Amino acid sequence: MCGPETLEVKQITDLANPRRGKIPIPPIMDTQLDQIVIRQVLHPLRKRLLDLFESKISPPKPEDWFDIYLTAFVVLSHIERLARHSTQHAALHSMPVGNKLPCFSNMDSHCTF
| Span 56-96, pLDDT tens digits | 999 989 999 999 999 999 999 999 999 998 888 888 777 77
Q: String of b and e for 42-55 (b: at least 16 CB within 10 Å)?
A: eeeeeeeeeeebee
- H or E segment and range at residue 102: strand 100-102
What are the tens digits of pLDDT across the range 11-33? 888 888 888 888 888 888 889 99
Whether the pTM exceeds 0.85: the reply is no
Give backbone dihedrals phi and psi of 51, rounded to 5 degrees, phi first. Answer: -65, -45
Domain boundaries, the chain: 27-94
